[in-house]
A and B are shown apart, each in its own frame.
Chain A
Amino acid sequence: MKIFVLVKEVPDTYGDRRLNLETGLVDRNASEPVLDEITERALEVALEYADANPGTQVVALSMAPESATPSVRRALAIGAESAVQIVHDDLAGADLGLTAEVLAAAIRRGGADLVITGNVSTDGSGGVIPSMIAEHLGFAQLTALSAVEIGSGSVSGTRASDFGAQPVSAQLPAVISITEAFPEARFPNFKGIMAAKKKPLEVLSLADLGVQADPSAAPRTIMTSVSEKPPRAAGVKITDEGDAGAQLAEFLVQNRLV
């Protein structure tokens, strides 16, 4: 079994996340870059299967600039056997369509039985990449899983659908995305960190994948403007002296909120 896990470097939500107001791109220096926790959880799902099924290959896959290599290495330190990083200047500011095309091409090139992703990233929070990749690859997709059972030729689980829990299953190959209901990834130990330095990390360019970033190749989504929202100003703040509840009721009535 060969499992590709999508891993993504994102700005730490505990820090000050910024967009560059000139380019509209994420300011990668504004806050500490971290591996998105949900993608670490996705990796853990693959590693648990690999622990129980020797011979499983777990490949961490990321489309990210060279500066993100330490985050990709972290996926190796946690336990991925190898990693693929797609690096290309033309991919700066890539939209969802181009991103999905590139990731799918890399998975096709490597040959996967199963692709595991987080359901939604913490930065873009798009949540569409899993189904886009599935469409490109011609795989079935099982998204928003809160539980999963991986078999040798099939995958099944519980989908946290819009209206309630839903049992789902598919023959492999398939793409699955997992929710936060899954446990956090194991912490990379010293041995893992040392081993990660020797594990294969393949760097691919667009040419290796035969993907065109050319704006005329397909319609793209572009940012037409970006502005900073003025920070929300704090309003009235009172300390309860026994009548705050009544004051709150009055405030809600005056603002026509009841």
Chain B
Amino acid sequence: MSYPENAILVLVDVTPTGEAASSTAALIGAAAQIGTPVALVVAPAGIAQAAVDAAASAGAVSVLTAEADASALTVPVVDALEAAYNAVQPDAVLVSNSIAGRDVAGRFAARTRAALAVDAVGLSRDEEGVVAHHSVFGGAYRVNSAATYGAPVITVRQGAVDARAEAQPLNVETLAVSPSGMPAALAGEVAIVEKASSRPELRGATRVVSGGRGLGSKEQFVLVEQLADTLSAAVGASRAAVDAGFVPQSHQVGQTGVSVSPQLYVALGISGAIQHRAGMQTSKMIVAINKDPDAPIFDVADFGIVGDVFKVVPQAIEALEARKK
């Protein structure tokens, strides 16, 4: 089997049930911007078909597959990535900047002594090779990075790349992997968080509605969910709302939570502490509603409303729902 000269090897994150993670289309889309995407799907025996199909329809010209025991953490995926790297000889390796992806990228780069660049929000190519674009210190700086030589390993921020590649015919190859024997942690079954609704996942969402302390209580936080559902948006929250117990920590947007850069970010009752802004100010359009006219969130809002969220939001929902009819 021969591979394109300008191959970009993409590691597809696979869910516990064998599907391609939501980051896949953007990863392969990013790879297509700098070369020819070749995907690697590593999953326990017999469950990977959905992920393989997804990788091809997202634009991978070939999909390599390797079986890995789900009870060993990270190491089997690194071993497979190493085998794929040796076979494909790519110009770069792209991995999702997810928890699983970071672990694999770190181990792989350390093992192969490859240059590692993390949390890229974009990729390009110049005459010397692949360049990763980063957004640093909560979006205050733009930084480009490159490897001094060799193919870089780059983790790509989820939801940051809009480019998508054209679907490719399915072209699958099974990879032979020799285990490294590196000690791995024993991993049990993931208790998959049941989604309460059909709302999109916060990471990578194109629209996000977030609530803060201004919502007042867990019961009243429902208002955030109602607007989110009207806009088909994901639900986010400030740290204050999480600490007050209005929503689980997995919804936290900011420095210490999830970083998002959606097309639309609506902040309800969020003052906009710098730690929160760090996780959302790269959003394309920001709407803020807050009682306090001096709330720092208004400094970054494209459309700010000084007012009571409990009056403004129901009215907006009503107007938007009326349009849908």
Residues of chain A whose beta carbon lies under 8 Å from any beta carbon of chain B: 13-14, 17-19, 24, 38, 95-97, 100-101, 122-136, 138-144, 159-171, 174, 180-181, 215, 218-229, 231-232, 234-240, 243-253, 255, 257-258
- Hey, which chain B residues are within 8 Å of A251, CB to CB? 287, 303
Given the known interface contacts A138-B183, A234-B300, the answer about A165 and B191 at a Cβ–Cβ threshold of 8 Å is yes
Tell whether, in the assembled complex, residue B187 and residue A159 are in contact, meaning their CB atoms are under 8 Å apart: yes
The contact sample of 24 A-B pairs, CB cut-off 8 A, is A101-B110, A125-B119, A128-B105, A131-B105, A132-B116, A133-B110, A135-B182, A138-B182, A141-B103, A142-B185, A161-B190, A162-B99, A168-B73, A168-B186, A219-B113, A219-B115, A219-B148, A224-B146, A237-B304, A239-B306, A245-B318, A248-B305, A257-B263, A257-B285
- Hey, which chain B residues are within 8 Å of A249, CB to CB? 315-316, 319-320, 323
- Complex CA–CA separation, A185 to B52 (angstroms): 45
Residues of chain B whose beta carbon lies under 8 Å from any beta carbon of chain A: 13, 15-16, 21, 73-75, 78, 98-100, 102-107, 109-111, 113-119, 131, 135-150, 152, 155, 182-193, 207, 231, 249, 255-256, 263-264, 274-275, 278, 281, 285-287, 289, 293, 298-308, 311-320, 323
Among the listed A96, A138, A235, which residue makes an inter-chain contact with B304, where contact means beta carbons less than 8 Å apart? A235
Main secondary structure of the interface of A (DSSP, over half): mixed
A21 vs chain B, min Cβ distance (A):
9
- Complex CA–CA separation, A66 to B128 (angstroms): 35
Closest to B186 in A: A169
B97 vs chain A, min Cβ distance (A):
8
A75 vs chain B, min Cβ distance (A):
20
Tell whether, in the assembled complex, residue B141 and residue A227 are in contact, meaning their CB atoms are under 8 Å apart: yes
Closest to A235 in B: B302
- Complex CA–CA separation, A226 to B74 (angstroms): 33
- Hey, which chain B residues are within 8 Å of A245, CB to CB? 311-319
A64 vs chain B, min Cβ distance (A):
18
Among the listed B136, B274, B317, which residue makes an inter-chain contact with A13, where contact means beta carbons less than 8 Å apart? B274
Among the listed B131, B136, B300, B306, which residue makes an inter-chain contact with A240, where contact means beta carbons less than 8 Å apart? B306
Tell whether, in the assembled complex, residue A163 and residue B16 are in contact, meaning their CB atoms are under 8 Å apart: yes
Tell whether, in the assembled complex, residue B74 and residue A141 are in contact, meaning their CB atoms are under 8 Å apart: yes
Among the listed A97, A163, A236, which residue makes an inter-chain contact with B115, where contact means beta carbons less than 8 Å apart? A97
- Complex CA–CA separation, A223 to B115 (angstroms): 12
- Hey, which chain B residues are within 8 Å of A125, CB to CB? 119
- Complex CA–CA separation, A133 to B182 (angstroms): 13
- Hey, which chain A residues are within 8 Å of B136, CB to CB? 19
Given the known interface contacts A226-B142, A229-B140, A238-B304, the answer about A162 and B21 at a Cβ–Cβ threshold of 8 Å is yes
